[in-house]
Structure 1
Amino acid sequence: MDVQLDHLVCWVADPLVSLRFYEEVVGLPGVRAEEFREGKAPFPSVRVTASTIIDLMEFDAMRRVDEGTGVMGSAGHPVNHFCLAVDKAEFDALKARLKQHDVEITGNSTNSFGARGIAPEAFYFPDPDGNVIEVRWYG
């Protein structure tokens, strides 16, 4: 079976604030940002890979998502964290950008298991809405 993660949704208070954070601090390019600003898209996204995006959906949309999926009470269900894997150079560059933007690294780990095996280093930090992001690199 060939399966890939298509997208995940982060609940945010202000999609434009979150978009700016993910673009400028995390370094992910925006998707449908102009369309969102013009009112032509319901939310902006950021691109993780050619085939994976993160949607930045405003909290107020929770009710509509419940109705759309038919699974009442599931919208906004908490997720512990999500993890982005980068190369070592980008790992170090992101640490520097977080410091530059006064974003606290809230945790570190070494030799932790993930989709590609054991990662030598990882760190955690929150986005503006408290969604926790792990970033790691593999040797």
Structure 2
Amino acid sequence: MDARLDHLVCWVSDQLSSLRFYEQVVGLPGVRAEEFREGKAGFPSVRISSDTILDLMAYEASRGVEEATGVQGTAGHPINHFCLAVSKEDFDALQVRLKQHEMKITGTGIYSFGAQGIAPEAMFFADPDGNVMEVRYYE
């Protein structure tokens, strides 16, 4: 099987604030952002890669999600963290943006294992709702 990650869902308290964070601080482009702002889409997303997006879902929507998945008691639970792999240049630029927006880097790592092997450097930080992100680069 050749599988790809299609999307992740993060539960957020303020979808517009979260959209601004992921667009302006993290640097990910919005998907359906204007449609959401115009009330034509139920949630916005941001693009991680050409085939992967991150959905920014309001906590209030959790009941509908449980009905759709058929798995009760799971909606609204945060994940431990998710990881983005970027170039060294983008990694350095993100560190600058985090500092400019007074976002705290909560952890770092060196030579940690991931999907592409060993990453020389990684950093962790939380979004406005406490969803933890790891960002790393590979050589």
Shorter-chain TM-score: what band? over 0.9
Extract structure 1 runs of 4+ deviating beyond 3 A: none
Give structure 2 stretches of 5+ with no counterpart: none
- Residue 78 of structure 1 and its aligned partner are, at CA, apart by 2.8
What is the alpha-carbon distance in structure 2 between the residues aligned to residue 113 and residue 138 of structure 1?
A: 10
1:19 and 2:29 are equivalent in the alignment:
no
- Residue 118 of structure 1 and its aligned partner are, at CA, apart by 0.4
Query: What is aligned with 2:49?
Result: 49
- Residue 79 of structure 1 and its aligned partner are, at CA, apart by 1.0
Cα distance per residue 1:23-82 (max 9 Å; x no partner): 000000000011111111000000000100000000000111111111101112231100
1:118 and 2:118 are equivalent in the alignment:
yes
What is the alpha-carbon distance in structure 1 between the residues aligned to residue 85 and residue 77 of structure 2?
A: 24
Amino acid in the other structure paired with 2:15 = P
2:30–2:46 Cα contact (<8 Å) kept? yes
Q: Secondary structure at the match of 1:22?
A: helix
Question: How do 1:1-139 residues align onto structure 2 when only pairs under 5 Å count?
Answer: 1-139=1-139
What is the alpha-carbon distance in structure 2 between the residues aligned to residue 77 and residue 98 of structure 1?
A: 25
- Residue 2 of structure 1 and its aligned partner are, at CA, apart by 1.0
What is the alpha-carbon distance in structure 2 between the residues aligned to residue 31 and residue 78 of structure 1?
A: 22
- Quote the sequence identity (%): 71
TM-score under structure 1 normalisation? 0.99
Q: Secondary structure at the match of 1:40?
A: coil
Q: Secondary structure at the match of 1:16?
A: helix
Q: Secondary structure at the match of 1:36?
A: helix
Amino acid in the other structure paired with 2:104 = E
Residues matched between the structures, number: 139
Give structure 1 stretches of 5+ with no counterpart: none
Q: Secondary structure at the match of 2:111?
A: strand
What is the alpha-carbon distance in structure 2 between the residues aligned to residue 77 and residue 115 of structure 1?
A: 24
TM-score under structure 2 normalisation? 0.99
